[in-house]
Copies of this chain bind each other. A is one copy, B any other.
Amino acid sequence: MFKDLDPLLHSQLRLAIMSLLISLESAEFTFIKEKTNSTAGNLSVQLDKLSEAGYLMIDKSFRAKKPLTTCRITKKGIKAFEEYVAVLKQYINK
C-alpha cells in the first residue's frame, strides 16, 4: 500500500538541498546555506551524506584564497529525487 520513502531524501534539509540542485544543477556551499537557512555544520554533514550516496558530487577548490565548495546533482540523484516524489504522491494525493 505505502511504498517506503527513501530515508536519505525524507529529511527536510536534504530534501531542500536536492530541490535546489535539481533546478540549478550546480550551487556553492554558501548559497545553499543561505537558501536553506541552515547552519554550516548541519549542511556540511548532510551534503556529505548525499555525496556518499552518490546523489551529488562535491568539488572543493579555492577562490580568492578562500575555500570554495561546489555541489552538483548526479543522474542517480535526479532519479532518486523523482522516485521519491512519485512515492510521496501515494501518501499525499488522496
- Chain A residues within CB distance 8 Å of chain B: 1-2, 4-5, 10, 12, 15-16, 19, 23, 35-37, 84-85, 88, 90-92, 94
Number of copies: 2
Query: A94–B2 Cα gap in the complex (Å)?
Result: 24
A23 and B92 contact, Cβ closer than 8 Å, known pairs A1-B35, A12-B5, A16-B2? no
Closest chain B CB from A88 CB (angstroms)? 7
**A82 to B, closest residue via Cβ:** B92
- Whether B1 lies near A91 (C-beta < 8 A) is no
A2 pairs with B91, CB closer than 8 A: no
C-alpha gap A92/B89 in the complex (Å): 10
**What B residues does A88 contact at CB under 8 A?**
88, 92
Which of chain B's residues has its CB closest to A11's CB? B10
